[in-house]
Amino acid sequence: MRTEAEAAGPQLEPGDFVQLPVPIIQQLYHWDCGLACSKMVLRYLGQLDDGEFEGALQELRLTRSIWTIDLAYLMSHFGVRHRFCTQTLGVDKGYKNQSFYRKHFDTEETRVNQLFAQAKSCKVLVEKCTVSVQDIQMHLAQGHVAIVLVNSGVLHCDLCSSPAKYCCFAPRGHRCFCRTPDYQGHFIVLRGYNRATSSIFYNNPAYADRMCSTSISNFEEARTSYGTDEDILFVFLDS
């Protein structure tokens, strides 16, 4: 005769399941997913003040073109301990022909490269490095969170409605780009994982009312797609 524990299936060890209480904040436009993710992180850290946030955007001169390095500067502005990992310390010139980057590439290249060049003096921690899923899980297991750049055309939430019914990556009223074959950059906030089901939990700023989940394999495909530079901004709770 089985015990109740045996009937319930294999028991998860501490660290096998993590789901952090990261609040969900919806993006307002098609371009501000990174800013919405930053707000989620700051609120999770107990540091979000809407007035101060708007002041920071003006001081850092952030416009509708938001790169991961901009989010790192935002974290630094608020004194938040962070670590920005990427494959390219600057702008990859190969992206100039990508439709997602083409419109603003020439004007943004100089600005973004300058941000990378000044990062150290501005106390923005940037590293050229490769990050594994195990690194990410270890970070989350300690109560920390991360903002990740993904290809929204690849990332698929296992909990959301089908793309035909609701677009996962654009607020209502905006053009849905879920099904385009081209790269479409989108920021999400990682908030946990389940090793038993090989799942990653995240907040998608396109939504205001739900946590999303996908398989680790799908997450890896989305975050390593050409165009992302494998950008990941680790944010630490003890800031």
**With contact defined as beta carbons under 8 Å apart, do 119 and 70 qualify?**
no
More confident residue, 69 or 173: 69
Whether residue 3 is predicted with pLDDT greater than 80 in this model: the reply is no
Q: How far apart are CA 181 and CA 152, in angstroms?
A: 10
Give the model confidence (pLDDT) of 182-214 as tens digits.
Answer: 788 999 999 999 999 999 999 999 999 899 999
Q: From 105, 28, 112, select the one nearest 72 (Cα to Cα).
A: 112
Q: What CATH code would you report for 17-48+58-172+181-235? A: 3.90.70.10
CA nearest to 154, candidates 174, 172, 178: 178
> Angle formed by the axes of helices 50-59 and 68-77, to 10°?
120
From the list 208, 173, 161, 231, the residue with the least C-alpha distance to 36 is: 208
Q: What is the pLDDT of residue 5?
A: 42
216-223 vs 133-141: helix crossing angle, rounded to 10: 110
How do residues 91-137 score in pLDDT, each as one tens digit?
877 665 665 665 566 678 889 999 999 999 999 999 999 999 999 99
User: Taking the CA of residue 149 as centre, how many other CA atoms within 13 Å lie in the half-sphere pointing to its CB?
Assistant: 27
11-25 residue pLDDT tens: 546 579 999 999 999
**What are the residue boundaries of the structural domains of the chain, listed by start?**
17-48+58-172+181-235
Note the pLDDT of residue 30.
86
Q: Is the dihedral of CA 154, 156, 162, 167 positive or negative?
A: negative
Kindly report the average pLDDT of the chain as a whole number.
85
CA 188, CA 206: separation in Å to the nearest integer?
9
* Cβ-based neighbour number of residue 132 at 10 Å: 9
Q: 212 with 186: CB under 8 angstroms?
A: no
